[in-house]
Structure 1
Amino acid sequence: MSKKPRRSYDAAFKLQVVNMITTQGLSISQVCQDMRLGESMVRRWLQQFKAEQSGLPGIGKPLTPEQQRIRQLEAEVRQLKSDNDLLKKAFRLLCPGAEVTYQVIKPLQAEKAHSLKQCCRVLEVSRSGYYTSVKREQDVKPVSEVAVQLTSVFEASGRCYGSRRIRAALVNKGIPIGRYKVRSLMRQHQLRTVWKRKFVHTTDSNHPLPVYDNVLNRQFRPEAPNRAWVADITYIRTLAGWLYLAVVLDLYSRKIVGWAMAPSMPAELVCSALKMALIQRQPQPGLIVHSDRGSQYASHEYTQLIEDYGLIGSMSRKGNCWDNSVMERFFLNLKMERVWRRQYANHPEAVKDITDYIVCFYNSQRLHSGLGNVPPNVYEQEMARA
């Protein structure tokens, strides 16, 4: 008995049979009876067709290289979509804000790797918002070097310089600028001096002691140093009680040449300040020392010191603060620029800070408008060389 020859079927025939069943509505049994095919074989062809349609290799038939490349690209697309969804969820969770998103877009635009439309769509922001952000940055003016120098001068002065002194300090640094420009920059950068006024009466002129005539008579511009000094007392508030400051000032350079501090106002306080000035400056006889009519300056100890050094005593008229206005102005500067900005816990703390103001700032650094906007020490040095 001879065997029936084995029939072979190509791919086109298999596809034709499958189409009859899937698209033309014929049943498997009808197709098998008509074409004399085995049902198990036809069912295997259907299973292989469905597997290939879903992206899997057919049963008993591997994918071609082209199909493998297509499947790989499809897998990469699915992975990228999954990663993109993850990044979007994380981006929304962090809530960076629109401005941060615009900062991410700007370098991408500079590289020209992606269009603005694509960047805004992926990052879920509007293009109009991006353009507004760019325009807002262009409208912001960069901080100029002059503004930096101006702020530096203001801070170095202890935040007490006004527009006139700041302008003078900048001119001394070689920066030409007008006062009104300084004022506008100070307003722009919110540089303001804040002062508070307090008052305590320190002069007691109701006493029977002898007083000097007003020899100085408001001649506040002597031609040389150590020709005319002025002296006075003021108060300093501390949490431990009042501290009193006696000062001697040379009218020629407006330099503080002597000072003393104590918790009370005996005659010894003003004598200590005058002795300090005499030892430091070694003046010639005939120097005028002007003060108010306070009992300390009319005391026997003080007047004896005046006579011993051959000095000429001078006192303001009663109740006339203008006769000693230069010293009053120094006290006002001291309190506006230092004392009223502090809260001293005790006397030693106040003594240390006020000494620092006199020696390290007022005499050495503070620009004096009456001296051509230079400090007293610099003025004396320049006049000595001239």
Structure 2
Amino acid sequence: MTKYTMDFKLEVIQHYLTEHSYQSTANSFGIKRSIVQNWVRLYQTHGIDGIRIRKSKASYSPEFKHAAVLQLLAGKSIRTLAIELNISNPSVLFQWLKAYQTHGIMGLTPKPKGRKSMTTSTNKSDKAAKKAKANQTSTNEHAELLRRIQYLEAENAYLKKLDALNSSKESIKVKDKVLIVGELRQQGYLLSDLLKAAKLARSVFYYHLKQLAKADKHQAIKHEIQNIYHTHKGRYGYRRMTLALKQLGFIINHKKVQRLMNELGLKAVIRRKRSKYSTYRGQVGKIATNVLNRNFKTDKPNHKWATDVTEFKVVDKQGNTNKLYLSPIIDLYNGEIISHQMHSSPNYGLVAKMLDKALKRLQADGNSDSNQQLILHSDQGWHYQMKCYQQSLKDNGIIQSMSRKANCLDNAVIESFFGTLKEEIFFHGKNSRRFTSTDELRQVIDEYIHYYNHDRIKVKLKGLSPVQYRTQSLIKP
């Protein structure tokens, strides 16, 4: 390595300071540009001491080396740090960093110099050798202890991140571990310690790191999935999500949609079992026969309807329990809610008003097939046994049908609607929704039924909502 005198260094620095560039100065003196830049920065930071020629090789303690390495891991450049610490050869810092990343603290501990003497030692030299060995052993033990502490710190940091990520008690994926390790690595923890804590192979870590660096080719689809999911308040699973994406022009398989939703952590609400409200009060009138007989299929609208009453309980701010009753009619052709009525009491007026709305709707739509009478199916609730109810059906040419006693499956379609409505109103998302007044609940139910009819698509309706499906059937030749 070429040795430069102090006078030469000062002459180079002075030439640069007289408004010359690094490159022109280097060309003038026949040296590299990086050497000129290093001398100038050392001189500007430490004065004459920064460029003074050292008669002996500088020695640095493990603590000094460790502090320097931590600054490098924090993002400081090697050249900048070398100038700040007055280290003339920046490559020394790189060697420290490499040793630290490979061996930890022990990599920064100086190794014993020389080799063991082959001649017979005197008593005095033996004592000196034993003392040096004891000091070296103490140093090694201290370094091993620091290394152990260093690993435990890395393990503790990793487990904290893991606990925060695993708050939902779901299984942690390899990709999540790689993200945690990558983040902590930037904070100065050794990669070897983090991989050991995460139980990851080095090759696995770098493979997933490379995959994460690639552009996500499904980004556009994921964005639409999130929009659809949140628009429908978490009510769409992967099947209906696939249909919704196809309506937007995406050509995609349902298995891929399921995988992408899992990656995004999106899951549809799952229906819970709950007690059923019953309107049965014994036989108070005439029981109709089961004309429908679980034949829920029909090829035209307004040929088969079903109805029932369900109950909602609302606890107000004072702790009082209030009730709200819903009575809808559903068309078995497309699952559309034809009419509905709500009241705080399950009286006959609840059912009567619902029936009046449905009859007006029927007259407005008209029945395209006069040879096939409309069937209105219900359970054996007391409302449907009333003479006035049955007379209204008879006057409008509607055939009454009733389920068998204590057999809710005979009216499964309307029961399924009640289950869907309650699940998606009360239990959408991770937390249950609570209402403090029946007026608030009434408004939400009205909004949901409109959404159910016009916007909520169904798989069995070929990805259309009930109203869309009915409209499409009417325009077909």
TM-score normalised by L of structure 2:
0.55
Q: Does 1:101 align with 2:101?
A: no
Which residue in 2 is equivalent to 1:354? 445
Aligned to 2:43: 78
The residue type equivalent to 1:263 in the other structure is S
For residues 142-161 of structure 1, the aligned pairs below 5 Å read 142-143=215-216, 144=218, 145-161=220-236
The separation in 2 between residues aligned to 1:244 and 1:381, in whole angstroms, is: 30
- Residue identity matched to 1:156: T
- Give the secondary structure class of the aligned counterpart of 1:138: helix
Q: Distance in 1 between matches of 2:44 and 2:384?
A: 95
CA contact (8 A) 2:284 2:386 kept: no
User: Is there any run of 5+ residues in structure 1 with no aligned partner, and where?
Assistant: 1-53, 56-64, 86-91, 106-116
- In the aligned structure 1, how far is the partner of 2:71 from the partner of 2:467? 57
Give the deviation of 1:209 after TM superposition: 1.4
Offset from partner CA, 1:31-62 (integer Å, 9 cap, x none): xxxxxxxxxxxxxxxxxxxxxxx99xxxxxxx
CA change 1:79–1:257 in 2 (3 A) is: same
Confirm whether residue 234 of structure 1 aligns to residue 310 of structure 2: yes
For 2:465 and 2:210, the matched residues in 1 are separated by: 42
2:321 paired with 1:279:
no
CA–CA separation in structure 2 for the residues paired with 1:123 and 1:160: 56
Deviation at 1:76, TM superposition (A): 5.5
Give the conservation status (yes or no) of the 8 Å contact 1:248–1:259. Answer: yes
- Paired residue for 1:224? 300
Q: 2:418 aligns with which of 331, 334, 337?
A: 331
Q: Is the 8 A contact 1:161 1:193 kept in 2?
A: yes
Q: 1:380: how far off? A: 1.0
- Structure 1's 312 and 66: CA in aligned 2 closer, same or farther, altered over 3 A? closer
Counterpart for residue 297 of structure 1: 384
Letter in 2 for 1:384: L
Flag structure 2 segments of 5+ consecutive residues without an equivalent. 1-5, 18-35, 51-66, 79-89, 103-184, 192-201, 317-321
Deviations 1:97-128 (A, max 9, x none): 95x739x89xxxxxxxxxxx869849968788
Question: Among 139, 143, 148, which residue is 2:211 paired with?
Answer: 139
Structure 2 counterpart of 1:369, one-letter code: V
Q: Assess if the C-alpha contact under 8 Å between 1:218 and 1:323 holds in 2.
A: yes
C-alpha spacing 1:122/1:314, structure 2 compared with 1 (3 Å): same
Partner residue of 2:394? 307
Three-state SS of the structure 1 residue aligned to 2:309 is strand
Pairwise CA distance, 1:150:
2.1
- The answer to whether structure 1 residue 256 and structure 2 residue 337 are counterparts is yes
Provide the secondary structure at the position in 2 that maps to 1:276: helix
Q: Which moved more, 1:139-148 or 1:316-325?
A: 139-148
Offset at residue 75 of structure 1 (A): 7.5
Pairing partner for 1:69 from 9, 14, 26? 14
- Matching residue of 2:254: 179
User: How far is 1:364 from its partner?
Assistant: 0.8
Inter-partner Cα distance in structure 2 for 1:96 and 1:305: 87
Query: How far off is 1:295 after superposition?
Result: 0.6
Give the counterpart of 1:198 among 274, 278, 281. 274
Write the letter of the residue equivalent to 2:425: R
Change over 3 Å in CA distance of 1:366–1:76 after alignment to 2? closer
Secondary structure of the 2:414 match is helix
Deviates further, 151-160 or 246-255: 151-160
CA contact (8 A) 1:160 1:336 kept: no
CA deviations over 1:74-111 (Å, ceiling 9, x no partner): 786333359xx9xxxxxx9xx9995x739x89xxxxxx
Paired residues of 2:269 and 2:427 also in contact (CA < 8 A): no
Aligned to 1:369: 459
CA shift, 1:136, in A, is 5.9
AA of the residue aligned to 1:352 = Q
1:316 to 1:97, Cα distance in 2 relative to 1, 3 A: farther
Q: Check conservation: 1:147, 1:185, Cα contact below 8 A.
A: yes
Q: How many residues align?
A: 303
Of stretches 304-313 and 157-166 in structure 1, the one that deviates more from structure 2 is: 304-313
Work out the CA distance in 2 between the residues paired with 1:183 and 1:348.
38
- Larger-Rg structure: 1
Q: Deviations over 1:212-262 (max 9, x none)?
A: 111222232223221221111112232242211101011122110100111
Amino acid across the alignment from 1:248: I
Provide the rounded CA distance (Å) in 1 between the counterparts of 2:285 and 2:279. 14
The C-alpha deviation readout for 1:327-368, integer Å capped at 9, x for no partner, is: 111111111222334211111111111111111x21111112
Rounded to whole Å, the distance in 2 between the matches of 1:201 and 1:67 is 96
Alignment-derived partner of residue 344 in structure 1: 435
Q: 1:136 to 1:324 in 2, by over 3 A?
A: closer
Identity %: 28
For residues 175-197 of structure 1, what are the alpha-carbon distances to aligned partners after superposition, in whole Å with 9 as ceiling and x for unaligned? 22222222222222211234433
Find the counterpart in structure 1 of residue 327 from structure 2. 246
Contact 1:153 1:166 in 2 (8 A): yes
TM-score of the two chains, using structure 1 as the length reference: 0.67
Whole-Å Cα distance in 2 between the matches of residues 124 and 194 of structure 1? Answer: 51
Q: Which amino acid aligns with 2:245?
A: L
Equivalents in 2 of 1:97, 1:269: separation in Å? 76
Residues in 2 aligned to 1:336 and 1:124: alpha-carbon distance in whole angstroms: 58
SS of residue paired to 2:383:
coil
CA distance in 2, matches of 1:76, 1:356: 71
Match of 1:43 in 2: none
Alpha-carbon contact 1:265-1:296 (below 8 Å) kept: no
- Tell me the SS of whatever aligns to 1:313: strand
